[in-house]
Amino acid sequence: MASNVEAPERWYLALLGFAEHFRTSSPPKIRLCVHCLQAVFQFKPPQRIEARTHLQLGSVLYHHTKNSELARNHLEQAWFISQQVPQFEDVKFEAASILSELYCQQNMVDSAKPLLRKAIQISQQTPYWHCRLLFQLAQLHTLEKDLVSACDLLGVGAEYARVVGSEYTRYSRGFLLLLMERKLGEVHPLLSLCGTIVENWQGNPIQKESLRVFFLVLQVTHYLDAGQVKSVKPCLKQLQQCIQTISTLHDDEILPSNPADLFHWLPKEHMCVLVYLVTVMHSMQAGYLEKAQKYTDKALMQLEKLKMLDCSPILSTFQVILLEHIIMCRLVTGHKATALQEISQVCQLCQQSPRLFTNHAAQLHTLLGLYCISVNCMDNAEAQFTTALRLTTHQELWTYIVTNLASVYIREGNRHQELYSLLERINPDHNFPVRRFLRETLKMSNAEDLNRLTACSLVLLGHIFYVLGNHRESNNMVVPAMQLASKIPDMSVQLWSSALLKDLNKALGNNMDAHEAAQMHQNFSQQLLQDHIAACSLPEHNLISWTDGPPPVQIQAQNGPTTSLASLL
């Protein structure tokens, strides 16, 4: 009898051991791993083993393959069977959690919500899963811009954590709740309150550092949202030091005694990528584009390693946001061909996840619109921006798109009616002055170290003074604009500044300086022209014609560049 009982355990453990060996091989042998797990069903296992194997298969297929339908089938089986097995919480709730993620990826939100609600309802005696599932449903509501429901769920979670004695999880939810319910004038006091809570909280080192990272990420992104690039520097430095500290700590050094404290808002490997990401955002806004490139490379390398064993949707989201930022850097530095190839990478990532495409379609068309402007394809730029406007509900992105669309109408020169209609949409109530205060812009951008905005303001002021015949004042603006643009580096401002310096020095009788400026202008023009030809010759250039539906799967090559660079030179 004993041997009959032990036999299923032996074959099951053997197959499980083989499956894990293949999953963790370098590179992973996912097909062989799946075969081993599927072999379990040949032995007609008991329900506990059957449910767990369906969960393992579903998880492996979801995280490591593109076979989402088969993954969904196994996860649904795991969820259904596990509900019939007593005291089987881990399998039951993990199946619910992963299955709801998969539903969201497939844009099946209406299936994800009731699943999570049921799992939350029956998990109240399992603190870790109850907290995690509440957070997951709150996150889903946030993605749908239903902040009221998200705040309600976070409030429930914070109160539940208080009842079960988990101050760590309570604070994790409390920070988000405070910030999501905030009024604009209350943000700074709330951030100060959250900072005090973190510093005074007594817990194990990993949990404290995790809370600190959570708080600092919220604080840094708030400052960046407000354009306060200089003010955020101390917080960003703290965040970078904090992630270095947490990466040296081992998760198993001190295990919390309260099960609810096992909840982590993000694995520390993901935190590292997130800190790289906010550093890239800061460098991009500040105009330190070489630094942005450096941290993007580090983050993408880290992501590549993580995705070999972990295909969590948030990693693809991080990857897309990183690429969106570096694409803008490439366009500024005059590397359009590379930017276009990276836009194509974003398209490929969005092809793999309908949810990712839904969340980033407007940004993708906006990037294509910016690329179109850079290669002087104004009709395509207009079409891309119009598509992006149709797809976005985000007010700041809408304003950014409309501003760029206005620049297209201005550059075309004969679109006055469309331009006036657009300006009416931007300011329907005429509640702010239409005159531009460039000196005030310069003052504000200088105060916060917004180098690109400062460079653009300087060169525009220099151009205005040149047209007005005030050559000395124009020179006082253009020279620092050129220096700043070289430091960024911003190819368009360098091109513009060198053209102005050539004309200014000629007007002032400085022939040698005029000749030097003319040579610089010629060099910048040649670099832009070569990159223009390279970009327009790529098969990915045909993406500029895509304005409807999901990204095209295949991109056909074309004969060569069909646009002119004349207006840029």
Give how far Cα 13 sits from Cα of 18, 35, 419, Å.
9, 15, 70
Q: What pLDDT shows up at residue 187? A: 61
**Sign of the four-CA dihedral 310, 110, 177, 263:** negative
Which of 170-184, 216-230, 298-312 is predicted with the least confidence, judged by mean pLDDT? 170-184
Domain at 353-432: CATH code: 1.25.40
Q: What pLDDT shows up at residue 378? A: 94
Q: What pLDDT shows up at residue 557? A: 47
Q: Which residue from 150, 76, 85, 86 is spatially nearest to 112, judged by alpha carbons?
A: 76
> Running DSSP on this structure, what letter comes out for residue 254?
S
Q: Above 60 in pLDDT, residue 191? A: yes
Q: What pLDDT shows up at residue 7? A: 47
Distance of alpha carbon 435 from alpha carbon 439, whole angstroms: 12
User: What kind and span of H or E run contains 200?
Assistant: helix 187-200
Domain ranges of the chain: 11-103, 124-249+259-265, 266-307+318-345, 353-432, 439-549
Q: Above 80 in pLDDT, residue 245? A: yes
User: What kind and span of H or E run contains 13?
Assistant: helix 2-23
When the pLDDT of each residue in the chain is averaged and rounded to a whole number, the result is: 84
Distance of alpha carbon 276 from alpha carbon 21, whole angstroms: 32
Give how far Cα 497 sits from Cα of 130, 294, 449, 455, 485, Å.
59, 27, 20, 10, 9
Find tokens 């001190």 and name the residue. Answer: 254
Q: Which residue has the higher pLDDT, 258 or 197?
A: 197
Give how far Cα 472 sits from Cα of 441, 446, 457, 477, Å.
21, 21, 17, 9
How many alpha carbons fall within 13 Å on the CB side of residue 437? 7
Q: What pLDDT shows up at residue 339? A: 96
Q: What pLDDT shows up at residue 188? A: 65
3-class DSSP state of 443: helix
Give how far Cα 133 sits from Cα of 156, 164, 200, 413, Å.
12, 16, 28, 55
Each residue of 460-481: pLDDT tens digit?
999 999 999 999 999 999 999 9
Q: Above 70 in pLDDT, residue 217? A: yes
- Two tokens at 337? 């061909």
Each residue of 481-536: pLDDT tens digit?
999 999 999 999 999 999 999 999 998 889 999 999 999 999 999 999 999 999 99
**Averaging pLDDT over each range in 330-334, 438-442, 558-562, which range is the top one?**
330-334
Domain at 439-549: CATH code: 1.25.40.10
Tell me the pTM.
0.78
- Measured in degrees and rounded to the nearest 5, phi and psi for residue 258 equal -85, 120
Whether the domain at 353-432 and the domain at 439-549 fall into the same CATH topology: yes
DSSP calls for 372-410: HHHTT-HHHHHHHHHHHHHH---HHHHHHHHHHHHHHHH
Residues 6+ apart with CB under 8 A from 21: none
Q: Above 50 in pLDDT, residue 6? A: no
In this structure, which long-range contacts are made by residues 456-459, counting pairs with CB atoms below 8 Å and at least 24 apart in sequence? 456/493, 458/484, 459/485, 459/493, 459/496, 459/497, 459/500
Each residue of 301-342: pLDDT tens digit?
999 888 877 777 888 999 999 999 999 999 999 999 999 999
Contact 317, 356 (CB under 8 A): yes
Q: Which residue from 65, 164, 539 is spatially nearest to 337, judged by alpha carbons?
A: 539
Domain at 11-103: CATH code: 1.25.40
Burial class (CB in 10 A: 0-12, 13-18, 19+), 534: middle
Mean pLDDT, rounded, for 227-234: 91
Which of 241-245, 494-498, 553-557 is predicted with the least confidence, judged by mean pLDDT? 553-557
Q: What pLDDT shows up at residue 420? A: 83
Amino acid at 352: Q
Find tokens 């910048």 and name the residue. Answer: 524
- Two tokens at 449? 């170290």
Q: Above 70 in pLDDT, residue 178? A: no
Distance of alpha carbon 383 from alpha carbon 372, whole angstroms: 10
Distance of alpha carbon 115 from alpha carbon 231, whole angstroms: 43
Alpha-carbon Rg for the chain, nearest whole angstrom, is 28
Which of 166-175, 350-359, 370-379, 542-551 is predicted with the least confidence, judged by mean pLDDT? 166-175
